[in-house]
Structure 1
Amino acid sequence: MSYENIISEEINGITTITVNRPSKLNALNIQTIEELHRAISEASKSKTCKVIILTGSGEKAFVAGADISEFANFNVEQGTRLSAKGHDILYDFIENLSTPVIAAINGFALGGGLELAMACHFRVASTNAKMGLPEVSLGVIPGYGGTQRLPQLIGKGRAMELIMTANMIDAQQALNYGLVNHVTTQEELLVFCEKLATKISQNSSVAIAAAIKAVNANFKDGVNGYNFEIEAFGKCFETQDFTEGTTAFLQKRKADFPGE
């Protein structure tokens, strides 16, 4: 499948999807959001893809926000529809994807770009990365999940401060806050993420998918995360991956999971 604003490449079970609009600091326009949806959906359906890494092209930006020129003249109805569609086809879509998605933050991750990184299952940043939600400086609020995911990741007080001041934080502060899991040099960023992805790919994809759903269940209204975990745990016992995993353990060999 061909794309205009992104690059998607699968090697050894790892699909790297790169937002490729360097002249716009990889800002997200509507077309790019739709292309990301298609590329991530295609990767998740691949029988060989085990992990997705999401990053930006160049050395300056992961995704430096949304393309403001596209919605500067929107009315209430158009703005609401823009946010709702973004949630549906990209941000919530990534968060609930059964295939793990790692954000490799290689520079500015601002506004919709930070929201994109937060929708991923976890984040790794390069030392030059800067993160923030500057929307209130434009007279709007974060509209792609920022007001919800940022407090979940770093706590309500810190999230309130970042959102209300529109300040940026650097990679080390993001690490201290728990917004990112690791910080590396820019040169080592993708290599480090690929090592993590390889480690993940060696485990049961069926169990990982169930674990993603169980963790997310705790953050959904009206869902008891513990009960969801109990049911998901029980369902693992009927999978071929469980049979292979336990058999391999008892036979003291490395498991070869069928992914079923």
Structure 2
Amino acid sequence: MEYILHLSILICIYTMLSQSLNLAAGYGGLMSLAHAGFYGVGAYTTAILTTQFQLPFLFILPIAILINGLLSIIVASISLRTIDDYFIICTLGIQVIAFSLMNNWMEVTNGPLGIANIPMLNIGGYIFEDKFPFLLLTLSFTFIIHILISYIVNTSFGYTLRSLSEDELYTASIGKNIYLSKLTVFTLSGMIAAIPGVLYAYYISYIDPSSFTINESIFILSIAIIGGFRNLKGSFLASCFLILLPELLSFAGLPNSISANIKQIIYGTALVLIMIKSLKSQK
């Protein structure tokens, strides 16, 4: 039962991450490979503020969101000078820089040793010692983020984003500010990514740079792609699929070396099929 609760918490965390990326990539057309960096900033902010300053959750969460917002503006202002594939490469470079800082800034992040002894989550005197209450909390945040993003994409700004991702020239011709729209949606996406980062740090109670590599960014983007861009419910289903797949293969009794290869084959096949379906729908 504990293991099922653990997997459920991870599914919620990755659902939040993929939905936040879906806002930028699916609606804004900004395919980013820096999302694990924003995720990591949220986690490290939590670890540092709890272990060194003993700040409570209700202070840490808005601080982490604000820091991610400021960093997102900086990253966007650099990346948005490029377009299409160059934008992806630029965010890839920024992700590499973020990981390098986490891995080498010993005075702040403790480098590859990470930060341990993160205290249990405490809200109003209630300590989340067990997994079930923590699952309820992550479910609540997942639902709130889903509602928030659903609201954003159904406003006039959301329709501007849809138009922007389909045809920038047309969007500009009707008087919309392309740069400001992209900057705003990228910043919102990064700010939302801080929330699962905060929750992850409290849940695991130990973080290190290995959790926020480029592979993690690719994994988050893959969830968004498999779940379907502009499909927030699909992000949840894709998270379930990609997180539970290794567990199902292990239950099949296959050796780890074989199950890992089968996982990659299924994972790659799913991506190819989704991309083929996406290309057909655009014709």
TM-score (norm 2): 0.27
- Pick the structure with more strand per residue: 1
Higher-RCO chain (CA-CA 8 Å, sequence separation at least 6):
2
- Pick the structure with more helix per residue: 2
